[in-house]
Structure 1
Amino acid sequence: MARDYRRGTPIRASQKRKQNRSCVWWFLIGTAFGVLATNILSARHSDTSGSPETAAKPATETEKPHAAPNFRFQEILSDTQVDIGDSAPPPPPPAPRPPPRVEPNKPAAKPQTAAPAASTPPDDTVKPRSGTYVVQIGSFGRQADAERLKAELALLGISTNIQVATLSSGRVTHRVRTGAYASKQEVEKIRAILRKHGKDSMVYPIK
C-alpha cells in the first residue's frame, strides 16, 4: 500500500472515504428530487380533479329550468273594468243661442239742398239827392274792417253807412260814408271832428 509520507496516511483509505461521501450526496439529491416530483404530481392531480367540478357548475346553473312567467294581465283587466251600465249618460244641454242683434234705426238721409249762392250784403245807404255832399272816411276790401270803422264813428256821434261797389278790375270794395249834407259848412264841421280823432276823409259832391 502506498503511503503519503507527508501526511503519514494511506492513499486508498482517503479515496474510499471520498467515494462514500459522494454516494451519500447523490442519495440525498435523488431523494429530494423524488419528493419534489411527488409534490408536483399531487398538485397537478388536485387541479385537474377540481376543474371539472368548477366547470360543471355553470352547466348545472344554466340547466336550471326557468320559472314560468306569471301572466296577470287578465286579472288586472278584470280588476280595472268599470261597469258602464246599459244606458249612456244624457248629452249635455245645448248652449243657449245669443239673442238676435237689434240694429238701431238709422236716421233717414237728409235730402241735400243746394247751398245758397253767395250774395253781396245789401246796400243800406239812401241815395242822396243832387246838390248835396257826401263825406267818405274809409274803403276796405273786407266787410269786417268796414263794420269796425262804422262802430268807432258811431261812438263819436257820426252816423255812417257802408256802400258795396265793384271796381273795373272786379275787386269788391266796402266804402264807409256819411251824409248827405246840404251845405259845405256842415261838411267842414264833420271833417273837423274826424281830424280831431285822427281820421282822414274825402268829400264827394252829388250831381
Structure 2
Amino acid sequence: MAMSPINILIVVPACNEEDSIGDTISSIRQSIAHCSKAYLNATIMVVCDSCEDDTYFEAERALVGCSSLVVKVNFRNVGRTRDWGVRLGLSHQPDTDWIAFTDADSLVLNDWMSRQVEAYRRGYDAFFGRVQFDSSSPVLEQFRSNYQSQTHRYIHGANMGLSLSAYLKVGGIPLLTAHEDKFLVDRLEEQNLNLFWDSSEAVQTSVRMVGRAPEGFAATLAQFAQSYTSFI
C-alpha cells in the first residue's frame, strides 16, 4: 500500500541576507527534490524581518516555480519571526503535518528533508540535528573539535522541525530574540513529547562572528574565538 504524502511547511527567517538567501532556497529546493514526490508536498515560507537590503526580492526570484510565500515583518526578533512564518503558513496550508526550519545563512544538504520526513514517519514529534561549518581556520578547527566531542544535545534553529500537533501543544515557537530553539526543546520535553536527535550534520551554516540574533550562534563563535586568542 502506497504511503500518503506528508504536507510540509518550511520556514526560513531572514534579516539582511541578500547575498545568501538565494543559495539557501536553492539548497532547500534540491533537498525537496531529493525526496520522492510521492512522499511530500512542501511549501517554503520566507519571513524577511527588518531587512534593509534586497533579501525580499532575492527570495522571490529564487522561489519562482515552487509553492512558496515571502513576507516582510519588522519584529527584530527571530523567535517571533519563526512563529509568524508558521502561523501565516498554516493559514495558507492548514493541512500541514510537519514544520521544518532552517536559517537564511545556511545550506541544507540533499538528505536534510528526507531525514525529517523519516522522523515523522517513525512517530517522532520533533527533530533536532547538528550543523557543519562553511569555512575553516585554526580557531574554527578547535571549535569544531570541541563541538564534535560534546556529548550534550545539539539544538540549532538551522536544523530542526516538529509536527503540527507538537507545535500546537506547546503554544508555538517562543517569542524570543535568541535561544528560542532551546526554550522550544524545554517546552516539548515538559509535554513529554518524543524528540529525535539526529547525529548527522545535514546543514552547513555560516561561521560569521557578527550575526543577526544578539546571542545567537555567531555570538557563541565570537566568544570562543576571543577566549582561544587569549589562551594562545
Question: What is the TM-score with the length of structure 1 in the denominator?
Answer: 0.22
Higher strand share: 2
Question: What is the TM-score with the length of structure 2 in the denominator?
Answer: 0.20
